[in-house]
Amino acid sequence: MTPPSVVMQNPSPIITEPFSGERVWSSSSALEAQTRFSLSREGIAGKCAKELSGLAESVANRDAPAKDGIPSHSSLDACRELAASVRRVLDQGPGFAIIDDFPLADWSPRAIRSMYWGFMSLIGRPVAQTFTGEMIYDVRDEGIQAELGKGVRSSKTADGQVYHTDNHPRPPSYVSLLCLRTAEEGGLSGLINLYTVYNQLLARHPNRIRRMYQSFWFDRQREHAPEESPVSKNPIFEIGEDGLRIRVVTTLIRQGYELAGEALDHETREALDALDEVMESPGLGKTFAFQPGQIQIINNRRIGHRRTPFRDASEPEKRRHLIRLWLRDEGDPSFLG
Structure confidence by residue, pLDDT tens digits, 102-124: 999 889 999 999 999 999 999 99
Tell me: pLDDT of 52 over 60.
Answer: yes
Q: Is the peptide bond preceding residue 11 cis, with omega within 30 degrees of 0?
A: yes
CB 323 within 8 A of CB 136: yes
pLDDT at position 2 is 46
Tell me: pLDDT of 181 over 60.
Answer: yes
pLDDT at position 9 is 43
* Domain 1-30+137-337 coded CATH 3.60.130.10: yes
Give backbone dihedrals phi and psi of 214, rounded to 5 degrees, phi first.
-100, 170
Tell me: pLDDT of 10 over 60.
Answer: no
pLDDT at position 71 is 57
| Residues above pLDDT 90, as percent of the chain | 84
3-state SS assignment for residue 208: helix
Which tens digit of pLDDT belongs to each residue from 184-201?
Answer: 999 999 999 999 999 999
Closest CA to 275 of 301, 247, 300: 247
pLDDT at position 11 is 54
Tell me: pLDDT of 1 over 60.
Answer: no
pLDDT at position 3 is 44
pLDDT at position 68 is 62
Which tens digit of pLDDT belongs to each residue from 296-322?
Answer: 999 999 999 999 999 999 999 999 999
Give backbone dihedrals phi and psi of 302, rounded to 5 degrees, phi first.
-145, 5
Amino acid identity, residue 208? R
pLDDT at position 49 is 94
Closest CA to 307 of 156, 104, 193, 169: 156
Cα 123 versus chain centre, distance: 14
Amino acid identity, residue 132? T
Alpha carbon distance 178, 166 (integer Å) = 16
> Crossing angle for the helix pair 250-260 and 266-279, nearest 10 degrees?
160
Q: What is the length of the chain?
A: 337
Categorize the per-residue pLDDT at 73 as very low, low, confident or very high, splitting at 50, 70 and 90: low
Half-sphere exposure of 98 (CA within 13 A, CB side): 19
3-state SS assignment for residue 254: helix
Read off the pLDDT of each residue in 141-166 and give the average, rounded to a whole number.
89
CB 141 within 8 A of CB 222: no
What is the average pLDDT value for the chain, to the nearest integer?
92
Alpha carbon distance 219, 253 (integer Å) = 6
- For 24-46, give the DSSP string: ---TT---HHHHEEETTSSSHHH
CB 312 within 8 A of CB 112: no
Amino acid identity, residue 259? L
pLDDT at position 101 is 96
CB neighbours of residue 98 within 10 Å: 20
pLDDT at position 61 is 67
Half-sphere exposure of 283 (CA within 13 A, CB side): 1
pLDDT at position 59 is 79
pTM value? 0.92
Q: Domain segments of the chain: what residues?
A: 1-30+137-337, 32-123
Q: What is the CA radius of gyration of the chain?
A: 20
3-state SS assignment for residue 151: coil
DSSP code for 198: H
Which tens digit of pLDDT belongs to each residue from 228-269?
Answer: 999 999 999 999 887 899 999 999 999 999 999 999 999 999
